[in-house]
Amino acid sequence: MITSDFSAYAVKIDVDLHETVPSALLQSRIESLLSVIARECMAAGATLIGHIKCLASTASHGFLAVSVVDEKAAPRFRGALDEGVGELSIVLNVLLYGLPRDKVVEIVERTTECVLDIPGAHLHLSDLDEHHHDGGHDHGNHVHEH
């Protein structure tokens, strides 16, 4: 279902907290991150959220997977973060229709800096896409709806 208006953005967000943060606060911020990205993308002109999902991993303090398919619904999650997280690696995918990829990137970067604005925390974002999945994506010989 790659259509001309499909966009995909995969990004890794490394979070260095310097000081430990309560796990409930971290979970709340991560859920908010996905919810706000969904709302901002729809407000910016996206026509359909495909899937916004992330996996937040720690070295030894558990993991949290969060998923949003509707900007009006609460995120679903599985897993848990234990107390004492100092570093966090979040792999985030934003897959949607109706918004150019560069706009999605802009929204994700802005929202991440705002929602994960935890005192003392350092954020680093790395683009994980080797092949950008957008309207120009080449799907070989078979036909998707373009």
Residue 39 tokens, joined: 């709302």
Question: Between residues 17 and 63, which has the closer beta carbon with respect to other proteins?
Answer: 63
Stretch that binds other proteins, among 15-23, 24-32, 89-97, 103-111 (CB under 8 A): 89-97
- Among positions 15-44, residues that touch other proteins (CB under 8 A) are none
Burial label for 13, CB within 10 Å (0-12, 13-18, 19+), is buried
Q: Does 3 bind other proteins (CB under 8 A)?
A: yes
Q: Does 121 bind other proteins (CB under 8 A)?
A: no
Q: How far apart are CA 28 and CA 36, in angstroms?
A: 12
Q: How far apart are CA 61 and CA 84, in angstroms?
A: 7
Query: What is the biggest distance separating any 2 CA atoms in the chain, rounded to whole angstroms?
Result: 52
Burial label for 140, CB within 10 Å (0-12, 13-18, 19+), is exposed
One of 17, 44, 91, 125 touching other proteins (CB under 8 A): 91
- Residues 127, 52, 28, 40, CA torsion sign: positive
Q: Does 10 bind other proteins (CB under 8 A)?
A: yes
Question: Between residues 3 and 20, which has the closer beta carbon with respect to other proteins?
Answer: 3
Q: Does 144 bind other proteins (CB under 8 A)?
A: yes
Q: Does 141 bind other proteins (CB under 8 A)?
A: yes
Which positions touch other proteins (CB under 8 A)?
A: 1-3, 6, 8, 10-12, 47-51, 53-55, 57, 63, 65, 67, 69-70, 76, 78-79, 91, 93, 95, 97, 128-131, 133, 137-142, 144-145
